[in-house]
Amino acid sequence: MIVITPPERQYIEGLASDIIDVASNCICKVHLRIPGASETDFRKVLDSLEPAYHQHIVLCDHYALLAEYDVAGVYLPYRRVAEWRDIPLAPHQTIAVGAHSLQELQELPFTPDYALLSPLFDSISKEGYQGNSALLSCREELLKLPYPVYALGGITPERQETVAKAGYAGVAVLGDIWSQPQERRQERLDQYQTPAILTVAGHDPTSGAGIGVDTRIANDLSVQCYSVISTLTAQSLRRFVCATATPSDQLQTSLTTLLTDHPVTVAKIGMGQNLQQAVQIVAQMKALGVKRIIWDPILQPTAAEETQPHLWTEEQDKLATLLHEVSLVTPNKPETQALFGTDDPTELQRIAQEHGVAILLKGGHDTTSPHLVVNQLITRDGIYPFYTHRYDKSIHGTGCMLSAAIASYWAMEYSLVNSVQRACHYLTTIFAGQPNRPGRQLLCPKIFREDRKKQHLYAHFALQYVTNESDPDRLYNKVSQYLEAGGRWVQLRLKEATTEERIEMGLRLRTLTDRYNACLLINDDIIATIAVDADGVHLGKRDCPPQEARRTLGNKYIIGYTVNSRDDLPRALAANIDYIGVGPYRDTQTKALLAPILGLEGISQIAQQVQETDRSYTTPLIVAIGGIQPEDAETLLSKEDIDGIAVSGAIEHATDMAHTVSQLQCGTSNYPR
């Protein structure tokens, strides 16, 4: 579902709250359309939104703002489609177009992620703007387009079925929502259908894989999941007995019946009888209007299941046909080698370019790193790695879960890159709560979604210990003493170390911080943060940009950012960060490149500017940094605009750790304020 902002709102006052109301209560893209508005007006709206809401926003004008705001994408009216090459889209962003005729869509110079076609019915928001009934009679042509088309113009919940049967992927709504009183908008939004996907897969009696887990994952993400059974299996979590394929005529009847009345734009196929059956299923899906098909090939047995004999790679013609028709293939390493004869990313990109398909090489079988899984999305245009912490790899059905999550996000009109990224984060969140028991499948994803990392931040932010010791054993002992003395926030800072060295040390420290229910951050290393499953990362000005870090880590991780002057604030405040380290308070020997001293007054001025910034979302915490001694703590923490302190040397050189930590905390039992 797509919601377009009200056209009569030439002013920006209140528009941000309207967007929040809509984006908070339904799964949709919000097209930010303010006719005649300036770039400054657009900027004011975006600045009034928490960065988490930017992921819903599609810019309808002033595309240069893409350089500053991490929005979902852009929308081009047909008169501006020639500009598409000049728009600086990132891989995770989408591009949409608007048209008023089928011919305009057929003559586009590029393939958009989706399109709007209007007006189907008499407009609700524009009096006298009449609908074009011919747009309800072009089902066959719409089904042939390689991208989904959304119906616009006079859309109401009652007209959704008519629109769906006419071949449209969904609806774009304007007047029907904004003409409602504010107190009735949510009720009206609830009458619109949620995004939907289709899964054609095997039935696993344990519900750990196949259509059982596909449906659970999609529903957990508030996406409707239709299903057609391709194979019935006899198996348990520990052994596989046999599989019986659904007859082809039954499959065809099921697909035709379902997709005629319940069209979807995204589908995934899993376990099937053979490659020929997969080709037939995909061809039928495409003929019935499915635009994006994910093929999750089941070629390699896992610890809990067996599959059909490995004959698929002997039928190269069928494989080539399938690769030309599907959008994404999601093999693990053994499956990749069986399908393509290689798992080399460069060679796989050549295959992706040849067949026009994306390949997600799942990294669970690659044990190069004992702590990190690297999933690589390989497209015609690039190779995009996504890092996740390595959990018990014998969890049943992880491949099905990942592809179902990708399909669900893709149905929400996120880009493919963004959908894969979000799906990886989603599964990481689920796995983090699982008991470390071989063969265990996920029974209910939602109950494991704890916001533990952010809870740690708000419980312990008054005092942060920034390590400066390079010897692993001395560092471990110092952190142990600090935690035993009552400290609960540690930042592992190893500037000269490699990522693997940070991971090794971080894992040692995590055993300590877990024991004390303390917070562990890693300085300037996102990959190590993920591998260790630390609570977050602290970034300096020369490190990874905070917006990129948030895209990579997702919202559950803590992100801190260093600010040394007022000039650094715009970059910090444009990103969705959790705290700002402001300093240096005074001269310090722990940093080689020291910024100008701010002192108490300078830190307070920056903190005050942060408080005064016009933002409708949570203001990041302010943590004073740089040369802070125990005797400074009470002065700093007594300031209303300073929330915590970060200390290195005073803790590193403490002869009485308990006394030093007590002084630094200076009776902070009232924190957080």
Residues 363, 395 contacting (CB under 8 angstroms): no
Is residue 543 marked as binding? yes
- What is the spatial distance between Cα 486 and Cα 516, in angstroms, rounded to a whole number? 9
Is residue 589 marked as binding? yes
Residues 430, 442 contacting (CB under 8 angstroms): yes
- What is the spatial distance between Cα 65 and Cα 617, in angstroms, rounded to a whole number? 20
Cα torsion through 468, 473, 474, 475, rounded to 10: 30
Residue spans of beta strands (DSSP E) within 566-620:
579-582
Give the tokens for residue 575: 């990103």
- What is the spatial distance between Cα 172 and Cα 101, in angstroms, rounded to a whole number? 16
Q: Which CATH architecture has domain 452-665?
A: Alpha-Beta Barrel (3.20)
Is residue 627 marked as binding? yes
Is residue 368 marked as binding? no
Q: Label residue 272 by pLDDT band (50, 70, 90).
A: confident
Q: pLDDT tens digits for 581-613?
A: 999 998 876 655 567 899 999 999 999 999 887
pLDDT given at position 428: 73
Give the tokens for residue 573: 């405040």
CATH code of domain 196-431: 3.40.1190.20
Q: What is the mean pLDDT of residues 407-426?
A: 91
Q: 69: burial class by Cβ within 10 Å (0-12, 13-18, 19+)?
A: middle
- What is the spatial distance between Cα 228 and Cα 217, in angstroms, rounded to a whole number? 16
Residues 215, 208 contacting (CB under 8 angstroms): no
What is the identity of the amino acid at 552? T
Q: Which residue has the higher pLDDT, 313 or 207?
A: 207
- What is the spatial distance between Cα 641 and Cα 419, in angstroms, rounded to a whole number? 38
- What is the spatial distance between Cα 29 and Cα 14, in angstroms, rounded to a whole number? 19
- Is the C-alpha dihedral spanning 603, 609, 612, 613 positive or negative? negative
Is residue 481 marked as binding? no
Least confident range of 325-329, 438-442, 463-467, 657-661: 438-442
Q: Is the pLDDT of residue 49 over 90?
A: no
Residues 285, 325 contacting (CB under 8 angstroms): no
Give the tokens for residue 448: 């494991």
pLDDT given at position 357: 97
Say how many C-beta atoms besides its own lie within 10 A of residue 629's C-beta. 14
Give the tokens for residue 259: 């997709």
Q: Which residue has the higher pLDDT, 48 or 124?
A: 124
Give the tokens for residue 287: 């003929």
pLDDT given at position 600: 94
Is residue 256 marked as binding? no
Q: pLDDT tens digits for 488-513?
A: 999 999 999 999 899 989 989 998 99
Is residue 578 marked as binding? no
- What is the spatial distance between Cα 224 and Cα 220, in angstroms, rounded to a whole number? 10
Is residue 492 marked as binding? yes
Domain 2-190 has CATH 3.20.20.70: yes
Is residue 562 marked as binding? yes
Is residue 286 marked as binding? no
Q: What is the mean pLDDT of the chain?
A: 86
The share of the chain scoring above pLDDT 90, in percent, equals 56
Q: Is the pLDDT of residue 514 over 90?
A: no
Domain parsing of the chain, residue ranges: 2-190, 196-431, 452-665
452-665 matches 2-190 in CATH topology:
yes
- What is the spatial distance between Cα 231 and Cα 245, in angstroms, rounded to a whole number? 4
Q: What is the mean pLDDT of residues 529-538?
A: 90
Phi and psi torsions of 437, nearest 5°: -120, 125
511: CB partners within 8 A, 6+ apart:
none
Is residue 569 marked as binding? no
Among all chains, which residue has been given the structure tokens 């004992």?
Answer: 370
Q: Label residue 97 by pLDDT band (50, 70, 90).
A: very high
What CA–CA distances, in Å, run from 407 to 111, 115, 384?
20, 19, 18
Is residue 619 marked as binding? no
Q: Label residue 11 by pLDDT band (50, 70, 90).
A: low
pLDDT given at position 186: 85
Residues 554, 534 contacting (CB under 8 angstroms): no
Least confident range of 157-166, 311-320, 435-444, 518-527: 435-444
pLDDT given at position 546: 87
pLDDT given at position 393: 53
Is residue 495 marked as binding? yes
Q: Across 200-214, 559-573, 639-653, which has the greatest mean pLDDT?
A: 639-653
- What is the spatial distance between Cα 413 and Cα 571, in angstroms, rounded to a whole number? 28
Q: pLDDT tens digits for 619-636?
A: 889 999 999 999 999 999
- What is the spatial distance between Cα 196 and Cα 224, in angstroms, rounded to a whole number? 4
- What is the spatial distance between Cα 115 and Cα 216, in angstroms, rounded to a whole number? 29
pLDDT given at position 613: 77
- What is the spatial distance between Cα 452 and Cα 470, in angstroms, rounded to a whole number? 28
